[in-house]
Every structure is written in C-alpha cells, then in structure tokens.
Chain A
Amino acid sequence: MTTTTVMTKPHRTIWQRWNWLLWVVVIGALYYWTINGLKFTGLQESAGAVSRSIVDGLVHPQWSYVYDGSGEDLVSLILQTLAIAFLGTIVSAVISVPFAFWAARGTHERFFLRSGSGKVVLTLIRTFPEIVLAIMFIKAVGPGSYAGVLAVSIHSIGMLGKLFSEAIENMDRGSEEAITSAGGRSGQVFALATVPTIMPEFFSYTLYRFEIAVRSASILGMVGAGGIGTPMIFAIQTRNWPKVGIILLGIVIMVLLIDSLSEQLRKRLI
C-alpha cells in the first residue's frame, strides 16, 4: 500500500518540501538586519512645522517668479533644462551607435570577446553616478549648463548603448539577407537594409531616454550643472517655500508635457 502511494505521487525531497521555510528565514533575517541597521534618530522636532510651511508654500506659489524677463526666471530655466536634456540625448544617441555595434552579439562570434567587452564598458558607464560626472565636468568647463550637457551625454550612453545593442541583436535579418543575395556589398547592405530596419527602434529608445534626461537635467543644477535645479536647491536651503512651490509646479508640468508629447511622436513615427 505504501509503495503504491509513493509511486503514484510525485516524489519530493526534503529540500523541496522545506525550502520555503529557508526563504522565510532568509527574508526575515534580511528585514531584521535592515530595520535594526537604520537609525531613525535625529528627527527634527520642527518636522511638523516645516511640513506645514512647505504645504503652505506649495498652495501659495510665488507666481511672480514665472516670468520676469531677467533670464533667471522659471520659464527661461525650464527651457534651459529642456535644452540640456535635448542636446545631451542627441549627442549621446550619436555616440551610442558605435558602442551598440561593439556590444551587440554577432552571429559568427566565437567566444563573445568583442561583444562581452562592450557590454562591460556600457555597464561601467551606466553605473557611474551622473551627479559625479556632472561635478567632474564642472571642473573641466566651469559651472553651468554646458557641464550638464556633457554629463547627460556621457551617462546616457550606458543605457542607450545597451538598448541599441539589444535592438541590433534582435533585429530581423531578412532584408539584409535579401540585399546580400542580390549582390550588394556590405556597405550597401548596411545602408539599404540594416539602417531602415533598425532606425525606428533607435528613435523610439532615444525618445524614451529623452524623457529620463529631462528628469535628470532638472536635478543636475543642484550640484551646479545648470537648469532649474540650481534655484530649486537655493530656495530649499533658504526655506523659500513659495518659490519651491512654483518650481515644483513648473517641473511637474514640464515633465507631463514632455511625456505626452513623446508618446504622440512615438505613435506617429512607428
């Protein structure tokens, strides 16, 4: 009797039967470590008062800051932020193309030395904090939006290069085969088949990256790399909450507009 039940039921080892318990222990220990490790001391007693004045500032934003023609107002700096993101993304998209072909796994590649090394380089670029890049470029070209453009350009290569290389790896090779079989040279195959096949995807990823770049460009100013972040951090440090309120409003509207615009463009062009 016992032998038949053992044979009909799928056999589970002790490990399979109890490994959920192991997970519970591991996750429990992880959270125990996490919560015990963090010190929640040092909470300011004024937290409540500060929060109230922030909310008050957000409800009564300093409308006069929106535009005053000085070039240091909200509209001008939002435009500057967009310019940093736009220029940085375009430059990065151009530089990312050779990186992408470097990191894309080839069909005839043996040990993936070329593509593997490319992937490592892109990971390194991606992990290098954008803020640190911005600070380094400030040393090179001085504080201002130029440093922001350089930081966005270099940092975005990490992600765009990765997305582009995956697009290359997964692209439909059919049209390339057709041009080759018609007697095309490799340059012609690239121009007539590879580029038109891959461009829409590159374009779509670049738009996506632009959306992200708009968000980063709006905070790079906090370390001095131009855009709306600079007056934002000053306003926070000087507790000028009505000004923080209007800048926050500006950033939220800018990001929402850019996101919907980019969605429209993407639908239209693909």
Chain B
Amino acid sequence: MTYPEIPRRSWVQRWHVKGIGGTVVLLVLLVASSQMTGVDVGMFFSNFGQFMNLLVRMSHPAWDYTTVIIQPLLETIQMAILGTTIGAAFAIPFAVLSASNLIHSRLLRNVTRLFLDLVRTLPDLLLAAIFVAIFGIGSTAGVVTLAIFSFGMVSKLFYEVIETIDMGPLEALESVGASKVTIIWYAVLPQILNQFISYFLYTLEINVRASTVLGYLGAGGIGVFLQRSLNEFNYSQTAVIILATLVVVLVIDGISNHLRRVLL
C-alpha cells in the first residue's frame, strides 16, 4: 500500500512567520504606546498613598447629601428618556432608507449609511461640550446630545433588524399593488415592532449611563453635582453620587431587561 506524499510546509508556516510577526508587531506597538503616554509603573505606586487617601475619603459617604441629589437624578432619567425617544423617532426613516431589502437604490442606501457612520463616530461628551456652547448650560444641551447619540446607534440597530425580516408577506402585498407605506405598515411593522422596542430599551439603558456624566460639562442632570463635588474635593459627596447613580442604573437595567425578556 502506498501512502500519499507528506506535504511540505512553506517557510511561512515552518518558521511561524504569522505568529511571531504578529507578536513582534504587538510588542513594538506596546512599547511605542507606553513611551508616548509616559506610563511609569513606579510612579503609580509611589503616589499610591494619595490614591488610597482618596479612596478612604470616598468610603465614608455623606449620606445626608442623598436628599440633595434625588431631583438631579430624576432629571437625568428624564433627559435619557426624552433624548432616546427623539433619537429613535428620527432613526426610523433613516433605518428604512438604509435597509437593503426595502430600498433598492444603492446610491441612496450608501449615502444614508455613510451619514449614519459619521454620526456614530462622535463621542457623547464631545457632542455635549459643543451643545453646551450652543444652548448654554442646562438640560437642553443634554437632551440634544443624547438624541443625536441615540439616533446614530438606534438607526444602525433598526436597519439590521429590518434586513432580517421575512420577505413573504411583503411580496404578497407588493404583488397586489399596495403602496410602499401600506407595505411597511402591514408587512414590515408587525414583524419588527418587538425588536424595535427591545433595542429602544437597550439604548435607553446606555443613555442613562451616559447622561450621568454629561452634566460634568454642564449639560444638566446629576453630572453637574458630580463635577461640583470633585472640584471642591468633597469626595464623600462624590461617593454618594456614584452610589446613587449605580442604584439608578441597576434599577433601570433591571426594568428594561425584564421588559425585553417579556417582549422577545
């Protein structure tokens, strides 16, 4: 019995060029990055006392401060709800325009998607800084920031949902000559409504987290108080704010997770 020839490895395989090359590139990037950022492990530990001191002061929360921050916390939630709603409302037409199974014009689709990609590149705090400059200090800047931020995120999630729908009912309506609006209302919407709501809630969760720091730049909500306490080195108040934020985020996450489980 003759056996087939044993293959020979190319020199790329024999010397593990990909593995070793990848490791070398990674190490070079690591060294370059640590030089560029001035990372100094020793300094962290020599200043560790100061860091611990800060932690110690934070571990004695000023509980009486709680009553002060309830109102701004509620304002934070209101900002998140309104911002997400506005963003999601604007996202729907853009999601439809980006969905390849509804819009057959390649050009239109690509232009919309490029626009959405551009919107998504902007970090939330950066938007907040700009809108504070435009609208002044207050929750308006926060709501607009969150609206734009969620618009970018929701439109992508939405068009991905639309692209997964079952085309059967759609074609049935198309064949009897129904208009585009009728098709979307009767064949598309029932299939995606639950997932839309689920993604809306998911975005709301993220926005509640984001909105807690927006105020740091003056865009309303609890972040304003966060900035104040940090500037005044009043870390026992900072601790209360962080803990209260944590509770709010966990509660909202819990409610939203529950609703999403019921929906799907």
Contact = CB atoms under 8 A, between A and B. Distances in A.
Given A123-B250, A139-B51, A90 B30 contact: yes
Interface of A is mostly: helix
A8 interface: no
A128 B136 CA distance: 27
B56 interface: no
B126 A39 contact: no
Given A39-B139, A124-B246, A132-B230, A233 B129 contact: yes
A95 interface: no
Contacts of A219: 123-126
Contacts of A141: 40, 43-44, 47
Contact-residue size bin, chain A (C-beta under 8 Å from the other chain)? 35 or more
B58 to A, nearest CB: 8
B117 interface: yes
Interface string A118-160: 0000011001111110011101111011101110000000000
Contacts of B242: 128-129, 132
A27 to B, nearest CB: 10
Interface in B206-264: 209, 212-213, 216-217, 226, 230, 238, 242, 245-246, 249-250
Contact of B39 (A39, A149, A239, A248): A149
A236 B44 contact: no
**Residue of A137, A222, A244, A259 with most partner-chain B CB within 10 A:** A222
A236 B123 contact: no
Given A140-B44, A251-B122, 20 more contacts: A38-B139, A40-B138, A42-B137, A79-B36, A82-B33, A86-B30, A87-B34, A87-B37, A127-B246, A127-B250, A128-B242, A129-B226, A139-B54, A141-B44, A144-B38, A222-B217, A223-B216, A236-B133, A252-B122, A259-B121
Given A129-B212, A141-B47, A149 B126 contact: no
Nearest to B81: A34
| In the A-B complex, the 6 residue pairs with the closest CB atoms | A140-B51, A83-B33, A255-B121, A145-B37, A44-B136, A83-B36
A43 interface: yes
B232 to A, nearest CB: 13
A132 B140 CA distance: 23
B107 interface: no
Contacts of B43: 141-142, 146
Given A140-B51, A236-B130, A43 B136 contact: yes
Interface stretch (A47-55, A98-106, A163-171, A180-188): A47-55
B61 to A, nearest CB: 14
B130 A54 contact: yes
B82 interface: yes
Contacts of B134: 44, 47, 50-51, 54
A131 B139 contact: no
Contacts of B51: 136-137, 139-140
Contact-residue size bin, chain B (C-beta under 8 Å from the other chain)? 35 or more
B50 interface: yes
A140 B50 contact: yes
A14 B256 CA distance: 26
Contact of B133 (A87, A148, A239): A239
A139 B125 contact: no
Interface in B131-176: 133-140, 143
A194 interface: no
B135 A87 contact: no
A87 B30 contact: yes
Nearest to B248: A127
A262 B196 CA distance: 28
Given A218-B123, A218-B126, A219-B123, A80 B139 contact: no
B79 A226 contact: no
A47 B136 contact: yes
Interface string B69-89: 000001100110110010000
B123 A226 contact: no
Contact of B74 (A35, A37, A44, A226): A37
Contacts of A47: 134-136
Contact of B123 (A31, A123, A135, A215): A215
Nearest to A244: B130
